[in-house]
Chain A
């Protein structure tokens, strides 16, 4: 499966307080409204300008902090097709897979902000079409890939009647 879109490049240690700030706690049962504040303290224009299919690209330890699943959920709701980072905080990574948002662990240092990216999930390849550079990544384990392909953990359980490993 190949994904294509624009790269929005963020730095290291983007926390869930950056992604879904605590001051909007009261919007957690109103996700479209919460999504309007996605990453606003890091990049004020992001939520308004991100297009379906775009990528969030980051450095180390993306999604550190709270367990709020609203963070990956509003990234997905904004139309982002995958998050690429050199590393993820554990809970964010798990949450992303569970809601069906691809979280890809890959060297992102070569990706230019605003560049056009192509990501091949099955092959494990990220290509920056604007600057011609690329990097390989190890595809998700078969178990996690199945949860992702099923559309997240809820769909996975509904389809199989259980959690399959």
Chain B
């Protein structure tokens, strides 16, 4: 028997048995959460189980982030419903304005070796920490909240071997869009992506962006080993004691191995309506943009706002382009304010949204008109995603997004970077 991948290691530990790819296991979860789109159904399913409590209140969270602040009474009532349940059950509520669930999990909770389930497909974001984190539906999460455990099929892993350094103007988002373009939107269906090799050039914010989009290749999880960068990130947040080693066995078995030399990656854009339909940004310079959105759980972090401000400081976005900026959490909002990033962006013409999912889910704050083009740093460009099936969504890094806001057409950031 070969050694274990990170997915096999964590699921073995949490299920108390030697688990390998293909096995079905029941494993205890370390953190379980839902958000305001999936939480009300989760609460109703807990009630359908005949329960009004959760197994571990201190590691059960309801995030109010998708409709934050609520644009209509139905959603305000959903928020009330989740607050009332959480108060009775002792679960935590992350209030409107605190930020996006995946960013807050990264800031406050995620650590190597954890098993995390969330009723949101981008729960895989926390894989950046060397955790096994995966998205599930409301019923699964209700069971995990009620019982403190749920069932898993241990996934096969695809090894993604990294080397080299990203060129100027190229970012983690370009790598993951490029990878999804190569393997397809179902290229890793039911499997885990496990990243390895020379990861020194990918800092924690970069890893969060990459893990976040694992699900766009169909993956169940997108996992990085825990290393010195992980340790430093946790230390900076006063969570040093949560660090532990987490890496695969040297003889772990993989379904296949993909190799990427970061120096060969270019600014990459996904075209409507598929994430795996990618082009180099420079090939799309004819595409005019009506709206640019820099934010979300994929790219609404401090380094994302820094690069946007670097490109836009002292410049002006043309009046026909709407530039929306959404910090992913309150902390990022405050730090961006303290660093002068928000004033630089607003002076350039940006509109700053409250921390939350913003227009990405099509609920509020920037629904597209018929035929309008949006270039967004979010993770999905499906038909109808931003509230209108007649809208056209392109996906990119914050650098491509900021450069494109400046020129009004899709632009390779290397054309405008100082």
Contacts and interface: CB of A to CB of B under 8 A. Distances in A.
A36 B50 CA distance: 29
Interface string A121-162: 000000000000000000001010000000011100110001
B50 A158 contact: yes
Interface string B132-147: 0001111110110011
B308 to A, nearest CB: 25
B220 interface: yes
Interface string B52-88: 0000000000000011000110110110010000000
A89 B78 contact: no
Nearest to A89: B218
Contacts of A27: 74
Contacts of B186: 60-61, 64, 87, 89
Contact of A91 (B50, B135, B274): B135
Nearest to B189: A90
A84 interface: no
B41 A165 contact: no
A141 B24 contact: yes
A76 to B, nearest CB: 12
Question: Which of the listed residues B41, B120, B146, B388 has the most CB atoms from chain A within 10 Å of its own CB?
Answer: B41
Interface string A86-107: 0101110011001100000000
A22 B388 CA distance: 9
A13 interface: yes
Contacts of A94: 136-137, 140
Nearest to B191: A90
B121 interface: yes
A67 B121 contact: yes
A90 B41 CA distance: 20
Interface in B333-367: 361-363, 367
Question: Which of the listed residues A21, A27, A95 has the most CB atoms from chain B within 10 Å of its own CB?
Answer: A21
A158 B26 contact: no
A91 B26 contact: no
A28 B37 contact: yes
Given A18-B384, A23-B388, A25-B66, A91 B136 contact: yes
B147 A165 contact: no
Interface residues of A, number: 43
A66 interface: yes
A70 interface: yes
Given A143-B24, A163-B149, A67 B189 contact: no
Contacts of A158: 49-50
B143 A163 contact: yes
A61 B183 CA distance: 14
B137 A95 contact: yes
Given A67-B120, A154-B48, A23 B143 contact: no
Given A23-B367, A61-B185, A65-B382, A91 B137 contact: yes
Contacts of B190: 90
Interface string B367-395: 10000000000001011111111000000
Given A21-B384, A90-B218, A67 B151 contact: no
Contacts of B75: 25-26
Interface of A: 13, 15, 17-18, 21-23, 25-30, 41, 60-61, 64-70, 72-73, 87, 89-91, 94-95, 98-99, 141, 143, 152-154, 157-158, 162-163, 165
14 contacts: A13-B185, A15-B383, A23-B363, A23-B387, A25-B362, A29-B81, A67-B119, A69-B137, A73-B41, A89-B189, A94-B136, A141-B24, A153-B139, A154-B139
Given A17-B385, A66-B121, A89-B186, 5 more contacts: A15-B383, A18-B382, A67-B118, A72-B137, A153-B139
